[in-house]
A and B are shown apart, each in its own frame.
Chain A
Amino acid sequence: MASLEQHISVLSQAMNLRTQRHQVLASNIANADTPNYKARDFGFEVAMQNAIAGRNDAGGVGMARTSAGHIEGSGAGSSAALKYRSETQSAVDGNTVDMDVERAQITENALQYQILTQLISEKFKGMRSALAPTSG
């Protein structure tokens, strides 16, 4: 059942990145009143491509497997490269957190996360119905 495992692994990688993004957005909202704090975020699409390809932006690349006996290294750090958000309205204290943007992004992120949990559930549901004894 490689296909189910593969599907779940892609979805769980996506969930992992959504969790990381939630942390970043929560930090932005928490620091909405901190002087000189710069709002940060990462592009989900790029991070997901990196995660699937096994790269990580924080430090170089994942480990190559030159022999079948090698165990796959998960690679330290995260595949997400944090970037600073471009400023829409400047504040006197140097803070670049725009509350409207952050609120919208965090809601979107939470919804995307729920979609992923739903998708994983559906996968399991399909598997369960395939395993169920036929009636009659």
Chain B
Amino acid sequence: MSLFNVFQVSSSAMTAQSMRLNAVASNLANADSIVSSDGKPYRAKQVVFEATPMGSNGELSKGVRVRQVVEDASPARLVYDPKNPAADEKGYVAFPNVNVVDEMTNMISASRSYQTNVEVMNTAKTMMLRTLQIGQG
């Protein structure tokens, strides 16, 4: 029953989208972390998606997987605050390069994509149930 492949494809997309949501959560939570584990300011993380063959019929069904998690290369946000213990000799503090607006739109997009994939899964489920009902009644 090749409709089962739809479940695999949609669930791979849901996993990928939830990883993206995870990255967004991490970025937003650390939007003000001026010292990360390596001593430097936190850098925003983004996930990179990749299409991957899935199930018994790889030509038809392509799922999604997260190829890598990249760190945002944009420069740190410099804020003038000489009283801050993390300030450099000129009085500037390097804040994480997290763009809160970007992250919020990313979050909305991820959650909408997740919802759509749930819907596709439900459609496939309805189709399978209809198939089981053939010849009944």
Contact = CB atoms under 8 A, between A and B. Distances in A.
Given A26-B9, A27-B61, A121 B126 contact: no
A31 B17 CA distance: 10
A120 B131 CA distance: 10
Interface in A1-43: 15, 19-20, 22-27, 29-35, 37
Nearest to B116: A29
Given A120-B135, A124-B135, A31 B127 contact: no
Interface of A is mostly: helix
Contacts of A27: 9, 51, 54, 60-63
Contacts of A33: 16-17, 20, 49, 64, 109-110, 113
B68 interface: no
B130 A19 contact: no
Give the interface size class of chain B.
Answer: 35 or more
B48 A30 contact: no
B55 to A, nearest CB: 8
Interface stretch (A62-70, A83-91, A102-110): A102-110
Contact of A22 (B12, B16, B110, B124): B124
Contacts of B59: 58, 78, 82
A49 interface: no
A106 B120 contact: yes
Contacts of A113: 127, 130
B50 interface: yes
Contacts of A110: 123, 126-127
Interface of B: 1-3, 5-6, 9-10, 12-13, 16-17, 20, 48-51, 54-55, 57, 59-64, 109-110, 113, 116-117, 120, 123-124, 126-127, 130-131, 133-136
Interface of A: 15, 19-20, 22-27, 29-35, 37, 58, 78, 80, 82, 99, 103, 106-107, 110, 113-114, 117, 120-121, 124
